[in-house]
Amino acid sequence: MALHQLYHPTVARLTYRGLLGRRRAAVLFALPALLLAISIAIRALSGADDETAANVLGGFALATMVPLIGVIAGTGAIGPEIDDGSVVYLLSKPVKRHVIIVTKLTVAIGVAVAFSAVPTLIAGFVLNGNSQQIAVAYAVAAAVASVAYSAIFLFLGTVTRHAVIAGLVYALVWESLFGSLIPGARTLSVQQWALALAQRIAGDGAINAQVSLPLGLTLLAVATVAGTYFAARKLRALTLAGEE
């Protein structure tokens, strides 16, 4: 199937409108703005330092900002329509369910990457001028993590009305807390999978990931495909339930 057959412009336009509404847009802009403000302040106070740059980009950008934006983009792409029942009107249109999901995922990924990877890259240049490729490494990690987060949280948006809460628990408790403290949990952390790629891009010793690059890339792909597949299945189930 051609790629253009998996993307529906009208669905995309409606999804963008919902994601970039006043309330969500405020949060989407606030997080990158905070990262940039922190980066500018640190650079002004302490100058350029590779370790500091890695700590800020890894500790705030990748560990906190990226998953939070993923929650907003992923759940916001479809969750509100299911909650308020307006998804019925969308499902009544002659659009295949997997096309709806792929279109919404594409929009969610675009929003997530724009509001996470781009600010991460800029913050990295502010912090240390991309010394040891740290800015580029973390920006790429933010981008690939955004893809997986968007798919995971889009799926959550189809299965529970509390998708935002579930996403926040995963992002802040599992990823940021357990993922940094419990060795076994790191293997099941999107953050660590993305860090494996960042480690390959950055200079020697600049970034340390807890999983290997092949494993990290494999798990990122599996999470993205699985999230998309099960979200499409759930949407088909909702359609059938509505027609019975």
> In Å, what is the CA distance from 32 to each residue of 61, 63, 103?
8, 13, 25
Q: How many whole angstroms separate alpha carbon 77 and alpha carbon 96? A: 17
Closest to 81 in 3D by CA, of 63, 100, 96 = 100
What integer pLDDT is reported at residue 243 of this predicted model?
A: 41
How do residues 33-56 score in pLDDT, each as one tens digit? 999 999 999 999 989 899 999 999
CB 130 within 8 A of CB 201: no
What integer pLDDT is reported at residue 170 of this predicted model?
A: 83
How do residues 164-201 score in pLDDT, each as one tens digit? 888 888 887 777 666 566 666 677 889 999 999 999 99
Structure tokens that stand for 218 in this block: 């494999």
CA-only gyration radius of the chain, Å? 18
CB 214 within 8 A of CB 228: no
Residues in the chain: 244
pTM of the complete model: 0.90
The label of the residue with tokens 């990690």 reads: 141
How do residues 213-239 score in pLDDT, each as one tens digit? 999 999 999 999 999 999 999 888 775
Structure tokens that stand for 150 in this block: 């968007």
